[in-house]
A and B are shown apart, each in its own frame.
Chain A
C-alpha cells in the first residue's frame, strides 16, 4: 500500500517536473539551433548543437560590457547591503532605541511599493536634480548600486533579524565585561556566528540585483546597462534574433540557477521576508 503511493507520488512529480523544466529546456533548444532550423515544425529534439548563437553573443562587445556591469552592480550591491544590513540589524536587535519596531516595519514598506510608481521621480532626480557639473547619477553603476538598496536592504534587515536575535545576548555581555569595544564585539563575536545567515543574505540579494530590469532600463542608456536590458533589446519590430535572444537568456539565468543549489533550502524564507521557514 505504502509502496504504491510512493510510485504515484513519483509519477506525479515527474510529470510536474516536466512542466517546470520544459520551458527552460525549450529556451536551450532555441539557443542551440540555427535560424533556418528554428521555423517550420518545432521539435524538442536537438540533432546537433549549433554553437553560433553562443559564439556571437559572447563575442558581442555590448554583451561583454553589460555582463561586466551586471557582475559589478550585483556584487557591489550584495556586499554593501549585507554589510549595512548586518550593522542595522544588530542595532535593532540589541539596543533600546525609541520607535525601533516602527523603523523595522517602515523598512519593508520600501520593498512593497511598485517600482513603476517611482520611475518618474527617479528619472527626474537622476537626470536633472542631482547635478555636479556635468556629472549625473543617470547611466552610472553607482546610481544603480545605491538604488537597489531600496529593495534589498529591507530584505536583508528582515532576514537577518531572526538570525541575530537567536545569538545569545550573554555572549555580548561577556565580551563587554572583558573590555571589547562595539567594533570588536561585532567582528570577533557576532560576525562569526552570523556568517551562514550573512552568506545566504548576500547570495539572495545578489540574485535580486542581478535579475532587476525595469529600473536599469529606465535609468541607464549606454555606460551602465545591465544584462537584463540586453534581453529586451533583442526583441524588435524589424525581426527578432531568436537564437541569440535565447543564448543571452541562457547565459543570464545560468548563474542564478547554479547558485540556487547552494541556497535552495533558504529561498522560501528569503522570498517571504522570513515569515515562513522553508
Chain B
C-alpha cells in the first residue's frame, strides 16, 4: 500500500488553488459584510458594524425585486426547457437517417460564448436592424422593442436562454431515455395502455431522477446567468431584467460601498446554497426510494 502522504501531495496543488481563489475570497467577503467600508466616504477604512448592512438590506426594495425577478426568470426558463427538451428527446429516440448530423447542429449553441449569444440576440432584436421586430410589425402589426417594454425584454431574455440551453436538456434526457429498460413499455402495451398512460405511469416515474438532476444543473446555471443578459438588455429597461448578478455589478460596484455589497453577496450566496441543498436532498431522496427495487 502506497503511503497516504503521496496521495495528499498529489492533491495538494488542486486544494491550494481552490483554497486561495475559492475559499479565501469567501471568507474575505464574509468579513467585509459585517463592516462599514465605503471608499467614497470621508473615512474610507474598514469599521466593524455588526449586522447593520444586513438590516439595511432587508428594506432594500430594489434588491428584493432583483431576487424576485431572478427566481421568476429561472422558473420560466427551466420549466420551458424541460418540457421542450423532453419532447425533442422523444423525437430523437426514433432512428432516422441523418440523426448524427441533426444532433451535432442541435449541440452548437452549447459551446458559444454566452456573451456572444447575447450579441447574437441583440442583433436579432434591435429595432430597425434585426429581422424579428421588422417581420413582427409587417406580418402581425406587433411593436417589438425590448429597450422600451419591460415584459418584452423579460420574455426575450427567457427566450434567449431557451435557445441556448434546451439542447443540453434534450441530450441529457435522451441519454436517460435510451438507458431505460424496454420491458415495462412492452408490458404496458400488452396491458393496453394509451400513450398518455404510458408516459404518466411508466416513462415519467423511471425518468424522474434524470429530470431532477437536469433541473438541478439547469436551475443553478440559470440563477447565475450574467453575460447574455448583460449583453442583450444590460438589465433594462428600468429594472425589468436586472437580476441579482447584474444588480451587484451595476449598482453595488460603481458605488464602492464595499460593506453593503459584500452583505448582498453573502445573502445571494446563502440563498444559492439553500436552494442547492434543497434540490440536492430531493435528488438523493428519490435515489434512496428507488434502491429497494
Contact = CB atoms under 8 A, between A and B. Distances in A.
B29 A120 contact: yes
Interface string A1-42: 000011001101110110111011011001000000011011
B52 interface: no
A117 to B, nearest CB: 4
B14 A87 contact: yes
A119 B107 contact: no
A131 interface: no
B116 A231 contact: yes
A92 B11 contact: yes
B253 A5 contact: no
Nearest to B261: A120
A44 B227 contact: no
Contact of B269 (A6, A103, A113): A113
B129 A120 contact: no
A249 interface: yes
Interface residues of A, number: 92
A221 B122 CA distance: 25
Contacts of B131: 26, 42, 44
A78 to B, nearest CB: 14
B11 A114 contact: no
A85 B15 CA distance: 10
Interface in A222-278: 228, 231-232, 235, 242, 245-246, 249, 252-253, 256-257, 259-261, 264, 267-268, 271-273, 275-278
Contacts of A232: 115, 230-231
A71 interface: no
Contacts of B226: 115-116, 213-214
A79 interface: no
Contact of A125 (B28, B113, B261, B272): B28
Given A116-B249, A272-B213, A42 B265 contact: no
A260 B111 contact: yes
Contact of B172 (A14, A119, A147, A272): A272
A68 interface: no
Contacts, number: 285
Q: How large is the interface on B (under 10, 10 to 19, 20 to 34, 35 or more residues)?
A: 35 or more
Interface stretch (B56-64, B90-98, B183-191, B197-205): B90-98
B42 to A, nearest CB: 19
A17 B106 contact: yes
Contact of A26 (B10, B14, B107, B123): B123
Contacts of A245: 119, 123
A176 interface: yes
A12 B269 contact: no
Contact of A246 (B1, B119, B167): B119
A20 B160 CA distance: 11
A117 B13 contact: no
A114 to B, nearest CB: 4
A67 interface: no
A135 interface: no
A268 B34 CA distance: 41
Contacts of A21: 105, 108
Interface in B137-170: 163, 167-168
A182 B262 CA distance: 44
Contacts of A146: 17, 20-21
Contact of A38 (B110, B129, B217, B244): B129
29 contacts: A6-B97, A12-B91, A13-B98, A20-B108, A20-B167, A26-B130, A41-B134, A91-B11, A94-B7, A95-B4, A95-B6, A110-B22, A112-B272, A115-B224, A116-B244, A149-B18, A153-B14, A153-B18, A154-B18, A207-B111, A211-B111, A213-B115, A228-B116, A231-B119, A249-B119, A249-B120, A260-B108, A260-B111, A267-B110
Given A88-B14, A95-B10, A112-B220, 13 more contacts: A21-B105, A26-B120, A26-B124, A42-B130, A96-B4, A113-B26, A121-B32, A149-B21, A157-B14, A228-B113, A228-B227, A235-B122, A246-B119
Interface of A: 5-6, 9-10, 12-14, 16-17, 19-21, 23-24, 26-27, 30, 38-39, 41-42, 44, 84-85, 87-88, 90-92, 94-98, 103, 107, 110, 112-125, 129, 146-147, 149-150, 153-154, 157, 176, 182, 207, 210-211, 213-214, 218, 228, 231-232, 235, 242, 245-246, 249, 252-253, 256-257, 259-261, 264, 267-268, 271-273, 275-278
